[in-house]
Amino acid sequence: MSDLIESTEPEEGSTRKLAAIMFTDIKDFSKKMGENETAAFELLKMHDALMRVVAARFGGKVIKSIGDSFMVDFSSAVNAVKSAVEAQKKFWAYNQGKTEFEKIEIRVGIHLGDVIIRGEDIYGDGVNIASRLEAIAEPTRICISQDVYNQVKNKLAIEVFRMGPMELKNISEPVEVYEILIDSITELSKPSAGAMQALARKKVESAPALEDEEAREATHIEEAKKRATEAHYRTEEQKKRMIEEVYTRAEKYFAEGRFEDAEKELNEVYKIDPNFQAAAEKKKEEEEYERKAQVNLTNARNFIAQGDLQAAEKELNEVFRFFPLHSGAQQLLLQIEEERYKIEEEERTRRTATERPKELSEEEKKIEELLVQARKLLEQEHFHDAALTLRELFALNPNHTAARRLEVSIKEAERAKVELERVRSEKEAEAKRAEQLATLQRKLEEQKLVKLQPGEKKRKINYKLIGTIVTVFALAAGFYEVAPIILKFLFPKSTSLVVVAIPGSDQTLDELQETLPVLLTGDFARCNHVTVVFTGVSGSSDSRPSSLAAYGSVFKVRHVVGTMVERTDDKISITVKLWDSESQSSLLTSKVEVSDIASLPKIRMAIVKKILAVLQIDSPVEPIAQATTSPETYDSYLKAMQSMQRRDKSSLDHAQQLLQQVVADDSSFSQAYALLAEVTLRKHKLDMIDEKDPSEFIQHALQADPNNSLAYQALGEYYRLAQRFDKAGPALQKSLELQPANPECYRELALLSLIGGDYEGALKHATTAFALDPKNPDSHVVAGLVHNMRHEFAPATTEYREAIALGADDSLLTVQYLMNAWLGQGQNESAVQFCKELLRQYPDDYKIYYWIGRTYQTIPKMDDANQYLNQGLTITRKVLEKNPNDANASSFAGLFCTRLGKWTDADQYMKRALDLSPNSVELLYRQAGVYSIQKKFKNAATALKAAIAKRYEFSGILNPDLALFSTEPEFLPIITRPIEAPN
């Protein structure tokens, strides 16, 4: 402790001031270091982060931090006591259920007195007395001097225990000491044993010895930290590099089907850092705690609404047990304090009602109002808004003393928040690496197990029935003839398979070669006892496995069906191969000549029957509806299917043109109409302007073929987009009845469940879709959305990245969803780096300036944020000078002005934008974001309801601009539609 205090006389250039000084120290920390230095340092990180945040929140400035001790300077004794009580409450909640080693118990001493300022340091008797009081305090307790008590007794609703005058080391006069009692915590609401004994002795003989011990301990800890830090970071960086190299090799081996080599590499990871598996398990545990925390937060909100503040605080303490710095709980705690403050103020007003208050000028009233508002924003950690409020105050009085002190506090709070974010990001990075390894480990484990694939159902065995049947047929003469039939009925054979194209000698795929596997996949999806896995969207030949055996490994299926198309003059031949991944053998090679391409439905039916026969799968094969009698028309249909595999806008346009010609040539072609509806819906999702109504095409498809599963799938998607949710579910269920293994239906059901607020159902459907169609980026996007809506940001980030790797639009997906997941888990630098890369390509795009500025405000780095926001606003205004009717630019000008604190200008810009384009759904979502940033939550609710009423957009709902509003209780009911998504 001697490193924190001095007793020398002031030197020339020093100044004096009256300050409230707080000292803290951790109980038995040196002992914990001796037991487990690494674990002890992790506890110290948590302690330091929490102390800095709590101190900054109440305007404290950390002067020194040596070892496990803190010295904090407050301009107000009231704030010093508030900070100390808050810290003890947080640590008390954190310690519940912890072992003795895991607990963080601190002593706190506070004194208000004259101190000497020299540079960034302070010292003097005021400092020394605070240090001695900390030495007197018992762990988990707070000791204050008479001077502090005089300041707070009429301003705070606190109880104290008077310990009486105490003789303190190197202090000439005895100091009257009080121990603060915290009535909301039973064990801290009564005087400590040490305080009772001190009262009896009137002297604290052990304090000097304890203080000397603390000083030695602090020095020892600081030296250990300095020794360990450099070696620790060097070791950690080396570990990270080694793990990344090993993990990269493991992923490569897994992709090549070399599973044993992949597993060996993973084992090397666990040798490098045995904590990785524990970290993954801890991550799951924390996710479960977070779900429980949400229940506690809901209960706390309800108790606050009912006026039961003590019960609300009890619920928050449960959250703080596992998340000492939980932002949602912090906000509610502030609300509780505000409610208590209101009650105290009302009581104080009643007591002083007879006194004539001093009349304030309008300007003084405004200044006082702004000062109160800035303090409140600081306590809520809205540093940017607090700084903007002070700017408004300084315009009225540039030299306001209290405001200048508050300005310093805001900067200190920002620095504390950055430190906390650094600690959090380290943990997130470690959790991410652990999650990657756990995912790959899980994939390897799946290779070892013969699992029941999605869509397969084990027949429930009725043992009583079996016994009866066996008994009857045992007595019958024909037992040996009929027994196999009975067993086949009771235990039908099943399989899982994938259908793929085998390139010809030129390694290219024509329309039939590329679409035949898609058609056969749909045919097998209609069969009983067959789970068919879709191969996803077509890619380059380089991305395809090199053999049928490799396909079996990549898609984790028992059988692989390969088709090869060869054309010579006007003749077409189709070769079909069947591979058994388990026995690593070929089961079938068959060749069929095609004289008329329009007869392909019959040929497909024959192929399916033959393969089922070879596999001894007992499943009826429903006739495939004849498509068209015209070879030219059917060929155009296949070319349209081939174009749809490409997913880009020009390919969709081409497919649409072909299909329109197809249905014009043959109006009874049901599948062509269904595919035309699907093209129209895809263009809608890509925001491509299209006047065609998909419902018209769906109606034609179902008139021509009432059992067209693709038409029902398109109908379900159409109903979802049209917000006719009650009809969407039944249509999708009908499609699944006709084609049980349709991944697109499961993706749609997952989205429908999200809209209905059934997040568990959404996860189930998304998992099934992924199992059926693992290489389709849409499967990963939907899975990412499910995790995102469940606030599981790390897995959401992983899914979005997988989607991008499989061909999804990088910039579109990142801006719509990945940005939200990054910000949600604190990966702010990833968001900034992505946007800066975009900015190099599009240096005049004001939207990118906004995204960067917004992210810097989240970190928070206010100078950087203001730089990009001001640059973006300048560009936007130039755009509007050239075209005043640009509604999009006007709305972004509103966003820029909102984040820069120019709310009047912001409202004018947004009004102008909506006047120009009143029916724009995008602008309505953007307006909700503006109101959310301004914390006008009623207005935000109105705008969001209007936007959702026009179109339900996940990208609009997950917009980071809605972050503040999304924590409000009315947000979830607004984004949830009263529907019951089918199972």
Average pLDDT over residues 687-699: 75
What share of the chain has pLDDT > 70, as a percent?
Answer: 76
Strand 530-533 to strand 559-568: parallel, antiparallel, or no bridges (unpaired)?
unpaired
Average pLDDT over residues 164-171: 84
Tally the C-alpha atoms within 13 A of residue 464's C-alpha that lie toward its C-beta: 0
For residue 927, pLDDT beyond 70: yes
What pLDDT, on a 0 to 100 scale, did the predictor assign at position 463? 47
Going by pLDDT thresholds of 50, 70 and 90, the confidence category of residue 653 is confident
From the list 62, 698, 778, 699, the residue with the least C-alpha distance to 420 is: 62
**Residue 515 one-letter amino acid:** T
Average pLDDT over residues 849-864: 88
Per DSSP, the residues of 740-778 read TT-HHHHHHHHHHHHHTT-HHHHHHHHHHHHHH-TT-HH
Segment 17-28, tens digit of pLDDT: 888 999 999 988
**Of 351-360, 544-553, 929-938, 955-964, which range is least confident?**
351-360
Structure tokens at 343: 């009650």
Going by pLDDT thresholds of 50, 70 and 90, the confidence category of residue 480 is very low
For residue 618, pLDDT beyond 70: yes
Between 140 and 263, the higher pLDDT residue: 140
Going by pLDDT thresholds of 50, 70 and 90, the confidence category of residue 420 is low
Give the number of other CB atoms < 10 A from CB of residue 881: 9
**Residue 534 one-letter amino acid:** F
- CA–CA separation, 157 vs 337, rounded Å? 11
Range ranked top by mean pLDDT from 345-354, 435-444, 853-862: 853-862
For residue 202, pLDDT beyond 70: no
What pLDDT, on a 0 to 100 scale, did the predictor assign at position 231? 45
Strand 559-568 to strand 495-501: parallel, antiparallel, or no bridges (unpaired)?
parallel
Between 300 and 906, the higher pLDDT residue: 906
**Residue 98 one-letter amino acid:** K
Segment 489-547, tens digit of pLDDT: 445 778 889 999 887 655 555 788 888 999 998 888 888 888 888 886 544 444 567 67
Going by pLDDT thresholds of 50, 70 and 90, the confidence category of residue 608 is very high
What pLDDT, on a 0 to 100 scale, did the predictor assign at position 917? 93
Range ranked top by mean pLDDT from 7-11, 290-294, 912-916: 912-916
- Helix spans in 9-76 (H): 29-35, 37-57
For residue 423, pLDDT beyond 70: no
Going by pLDDT thresholds of 50, 70 and 90, the confidence category of residue 780 is very high
Between 752 and 436, the higher pLDDT residue: 752
What pLDDT, on a 0 to 100 scale, did the predictor assign at position 540? 40
Average pLDDT over residues 582-596: 88
What pLDDT, on a 0 to 100 scale, did the predictor assign at position 554? 83
For residue 327, pLDDT beyond 80: no
Average pLDDT over residues 269-294: 62
* Average pLDDT score, the chain: 80
Between 978 and 758, the higher pLDDT residue: 758
Q: pTM for this structure?
A: 0.55
The strand pairing partners of 160, in sequence order, are 180
For residue 111, pLDDT beyond 90: yes
The strand pairing partners of 497, in sequence order, are 532, 559
What pLDDT, on a 0 to 100 scale, did the predictor assign at position 430? 61
For residue 483, pLDDT beyond 50: no
Range ranked top by mean pLDDT from 186-190, 527-531, 646-650, 904-908: 904-908
- CA angle (117 as vertex; 115, 118 as ends), nearest 5: 145
Segment 289-319, tens digit of pLDDT: 777 878 888 888 888 888 888 888 888 878 7
Average pLDDT over residues 592-597: 85
What share of the chain has pLDDT > 90, as a percent?
Answer: 25
Average pLDDT over residues 347-371: 70
- CA angle (930 as vertex; 929, 935 as ends), nearest 5: 95
What pLDDT, on a 0 to 100 scale, did the predictor assign at position 54? 84
Q: Among all chains, which residue has been given the structure tokens 């990945």?
A: 818
Going by pLDDT thresholds of 50, 70 and 90, the confidence category of residue 434 is low
The strand pairing partners of 114, in sequence order, are 18
Between 790 and 860, the higher pLDDT residue: 790
Range ranked top by mean pLDDT from 763-777, 795-809, 828-842, 863-877: 863-877
Average pLDDT over residues 111-131: 85
Q: Which residues of 49-83 are buried (b: 16+ CB within 10 A; e: fewer)?
A: bbbbbbbbbbbbbbbbbbbbbbbbbbbbbbbbbbb
Average pLDDT over residues 468-489: 46
Structure tokens at 893: 């000008």
